[in-house]
Amino acid sequence: MKLIVPVVIVLVLAIAVAGIHDVGWGGYAGEAAKLRRSEDPFSRQNYFGLNYSRSLVNFGMTGPNYKITNTGRRGAFSSVFNLDTNTFYAQGRNPGRISNFDPNVRGFAQLDVFAELLPFEAVELEVNDKPVGPRGSARIIGRGNEYGAGLNNQVTRSQVFIQAKNLPPPSMNYAYEIWLADEESGYSLSLGIMDVGAKFTGQFMMEMTRTLAGFDSIMITKENYPDVDPTPGEVVLLGSLGPTRDRLNMLGADATEWLR
Partner 1 sequence: MKRLVAILLIFSLFSVPVLGYVLKEYKTSVVAERRLGEERVTHYDPRVQIGKINTVAHLEPHYTDIGVGVGRGGYAPVYPRGTAKVESSEWHGYPRGNVVIKVKELPYTERTGEMFEAWLVDLETGYRLSVGTFLTLLGGVGELRYSANTYFDAYDVVEVTVEPLGDLDPTPGAVVLSGPIAKPDYYNPPAKSSKMLTDVIRDV
Residues that bind partner 1 (CB under 8 A): 145-147, 154-156, 177, 182, 184-185, 187, 189-195, 204, 206-211, 213-215, 226-231
Residues 6+ apart with CB under 8 A from 40: 46
In whole angstroms, the minimum distance from the beta carbon of 200 to partner 1 comes to: 17
Cβ closest to partner 1, residue 128 vs residue 185: 185
Cβ closest to partner 1, residue 26 vs residue 197: 197
Cβ closest to partner 1, residue 61 vs residue 189: 189
Residues 6+ apart with CB under 8 A from 153: 108, 143, 144
Helix (H), strand (E), coil (C) string for 30-98? CHHHHHHHHHCCCCHHHHHCCCCCCCCCCHHHHCCCCCCCCCHHHCCCCCCCCCCCCCCCCCCCCCCCC
In whole angstroms, the minimum distance from the beta carbon of 215 to partner 1 comes to: 7
Cβ closest to partner 1, residue 62 vs residue 216: 216
- Of 120, 113, 158, nearest to 139 by C-alpha is 113
- Of 163, 169, 159, 161, nearest to 202 by C-alpha is 163
- Of 114, 164, 113, 169, nearest to 136 by C-alpha is 164
Cβ closest to partner 1, residue 30 vs residue 214: 214
Cβ closest to partner 1, residue 157 vs residue 165: 157
In whole angstroms, the minimum distance from the beta carbon of 61 to partner 1 comes to: 37
In whole angstroms, the minimum distance from the beta carbon of 110 to partner 1 comes to: 14
Cβ closest to partner 1, residue 185 vs residue 256: 185
Q: Give yes or no for a contact between 218 and 179, defined as CB atoms under 8 angstroms apart.
A: yes
In whole angstroms, the minimum distance from the beta carbon of 193 to partner 1 comes to: 5
Residues 6+ apart with CB under 8 A from 131: 123, 125
In whole angstroms, the minimum distance from the beta carbon of 182 to partner 1 comes to: 5
In whole angstroms, the minimum distance from the beta carbon of 255 to partner 1 comes to: 23
Q: Give yes or no for a contact between 226 and 245, defined as CB atoms under 8 angstroms apart.
A: no
